[in-house]
Amino acid sequence: MTLSFFDQFMSPTYLGIPLIALALSLPWALYPTPSARWLNNRLLTLQGWFINRFTQQLLLPLNPAGHKWAVLFMSLMLFLITLNMLGLLPYTFTPTTQLSLNMALAVPLWLATVIIGLRNQPTIALGHLLPEGTPTPLIPVLIIIETISLLIRPLALGVRLTANLTAGHLLIQLIATAAFVLLPLMPTVAILTAILLFLLTLLEIAVAMIQAYVFVLLLSLYLQENV
């Protein structure tokens, strides 16, 4: 029976038990644990440098009230990068290709930023729904449009991450299938297709990291509006 290209995005099960929980817990087992030594190994040094640089870049536009989110944003960034990178390995499952998981990450965090804005500065938070200097006849229409754009933010976060990873995995599978089929028929074309597949894999590695960064960066921008 020929498998569909979309079968790779189905959550694997074992004895009727979904293994997505195992896939979500695997990244935490791969992170190196910090030590109390003054001199660490190269992996811990590289990890610390990356965390420091990313935290500085992410929190640069935020005021001190938003710096409390540094640990959460950094943990989410590492978690998403690891999930996306592990999903590029053969015979693995990528949980971040599931829209339900991405929405479960995006909606609570977006809602937390909105609640913080309504609690700390309700006038400014509600003022975002109506730009200054709006003509009176357009006020009801603009309020509806701004409210819809506010509510669609978590959907855009989840769909962006899901669509980019799903499209990349589908393209890799299509090109790999083409290279496999063309190998006995046209070896030269198959070799060129394999080279294209290698370059596409490098691109997907970059996309896996960039999409995790964009996800967290947009959350930090939403937080910036409300603190």
The count of domains in the chain is: 1
Residue 105: per-residue pLDDT:
92
Q: pLDDT tens string for the chain (227 positions)?
A: 345 666 667 777 777 777 777 778 877 777 777 667 776 777 778 888 888 888 888 888 788 878 888 888 988 988 899 889 888 888 788 888 888 889 999 999 999 999 988 888 888 777 777 777 778 787 888 888 888 988 999 999 999 999 999 988 889 888 988 888 888 888 898 899 999 999 999 999 999 999 999 999 999 988 888 87
Residue 130 lies in a domain: yes
Residue 107: per-residue pLDDT:
94
Residue 129: per-residue pLDDT:
78
Half-sphere exposure of 30 (CA within 13 A, CB side): 13
Residue 5 lies in a domain: no
Report the alpha-carbon distance of residue 194 to residue 74 in Å, rounded.
36
Residue 60 lies in a domain: yes
Residue 3 lies in a domain: no
Residue 4 lies in a domain: no
Residue 1: per-residue pLDDT:
38
Residue 73 lies in a domain: yes
Residue partners of 189: CB distance under 8 A and separation at least 6: 182
Residue 214 lies in a domain: yes
CB–CB of 155/103 below 8 Å?
yes
* Residue at token pair 């691109």: 203
Residue 212 lies in a domain: yes
Range of the domain at 63: 12-31+39-226
